Amino acid sequence: MYSKCPESLPPSGKIGHEPVLKDEALRLFAPKNGEKYIDCTFGGGGHSRAILQSADCSLLAFDRDQDAAQRAKKFAEEFPQRFQFIGEPFSKLNELKTSGYAGVLMDLGVSSFQLDEAERGFSLKSEGPLDMRMDTSKGITAIELIRQTPLKELEEILRGYGEEPRYKKAARAIKDAEGSLNTTLDLANLIEKTLGRNPRSKIHPATLTFQALRIAVNGELLEIEKALPAAFELLAPNGVLAVISFHSLEDRIVKKFFKKMAGLPEDRFDSSFVQDRVKRAELLTRKPICASDAEISRNPRSRSAKLRAIRKL
Ligand SMILES: C[S@@+](CC[C@H](N)C(=O)[O-])C[C@H]1O[C@@H](n2cnc3c(N)ncnc32)[C@H](O)[C@@H]1O
């Protein structure tokens, strides 16, 4: 039985990463010998392993995190000849010279490895530098972003990427305190002091602020927007594109793209003419697949996961 998918993202509190909705994703792909797959978000390799163990197939994985690249090195020894890794953002899918893939998977967001390592600065529960970069070799950190961004733009980041209803108040407090903000706990405590705590909610008041900054630092939504069409083009006929998202901003992009590929209006604002819509895929999930109660109690991080998939015609 599937439960409803709430929008919160509690950290797993565990070391390592348990792949979310693994069996459900595997059922959608149903890998066969000789087929080729892409895992756009290798992380700890949980989904990659499940695919490679289920048939004599091959898999190409992406991840822009250097720690994931280290894990992938060991993984390659486990699956010689069948596994390849590219340490780049998955938006680079459009540069691949190969095609004819039976399946492409995206398991979006950050891994428990990243969340649980305080030094990475993703967690609002343990003290670390305000970094939040998936690829620590380039780009600006969250604190650099805060200091370089004017108030109005910071408000837009918190509104657009965090859907934080009190974005103005939060942004003003951050800009006022930016000189003394250094760590994740500095920011979490500042937001808690500014916005207060809802006694009926288990969600920390800084959750949406952290989400917004992380998305901005890593350009996450743009990555998804670029990668989805590229992934679709790489599929063979009957190939499956499956995406696991963890919040409504990601899910909205995926849902719209999948509907477009299925020749349907993208959303209620879509004013395109019926005759201009081309059906290139079949929706495999009219409603998103969510984690079962058993999975949620085993791995609380799966609570907000939504899995959607299409099959190319
Ligand atoms: C939720 S985890 C994936 C976990 C993985 N499925 C597993 O079973 O271990 C997401 C991973 O995707 C990576 N990632 C997120 N966005 C990315 C992007 N645009 N390009 C490349 N890697 C990305 C993150 O660094 C992280 O390691």
Q: What is the mean pLDDT of each run of 10 residues along the chain (313 residues)?
A: 37 68 98 98 98 98 98 96 98 97 98 94 95 98 98 98 98 98 97 94 95 98 98 98 98 98 91 89 97 96 97 98
Same domain? For 200 and 288 the reply is no
Asked if the structure places residue 210 within a domain, the reply is yes
Tokens matching residue 91: 């938006």
- Rounded CA-CA distance 42/48 in Å is 7
**Ligand 1 centroid, distance to 16 Cα (angstroms):** 13
**CB within 8 Å of 155: residues ≥ 6 apart:** 167, 168, 171
pLDDT at residue number 273: 85
Query: Tokens representing 128?
Result: 């670390």
Distance CA 176, CA 21 (A): 42
Domain boundary among 218, 243, 270: 218
- Domain membership of residue 3 (yes or no) is no
What is the predicted pLDDT for the residue at 12? 38
Contact of 96 with 88, CB cutoff 8 Å: no
Is the CB of 46 within 6 Å of ligand 1?
yes
Say if 15 falls within a structural domain: no
Give the pair of three-digit tokens for residue 150: 């004017």
Which pLDDT value is given to residue 3?
38
Q: What is the pLDDT, as a whole number, of residue 268?
A: 85
pLDDT for position 15: 54
- CB of 224 within 6 A of ligand 1: the answer is no
pLDDT of residue 10: 36
Residues 6+ apart with CB under 8 A from 281: 232, 241, 258, 261, 262, 310, 311, 312, 313
Q: Which residues contact 115 (CB under 8 A, 6 or more apart)?
A: 11, 12, 122, 123
pLDDT at 77: 96
Helix (H, G, I), strand (E, B) or coil at 183: strand
Do the domain assignments include residue 12? no
Residue 79 lies in a domain: yes
pLDDT at 275: 85
Indicate which CATH number applies to the domain containing 184.
1.10.150.170
pLDDT of residue 274: 86
Q: With a 6 A CB cut-off, is 43 part of the ligand 1 pocket?
A: yes
Task: Report the number of distinct structural domains present in the chain.
Answer: 2
d(CA 178, CA 259): 42
Boundary residue ending a domain (200, 218, 236) = 218
Residue with CA closest to ligand 1 atom 18: 89
Identify the domain containing residue 297 by its residue range: 22-113+220-312
Same domain, 269 and 301: yes
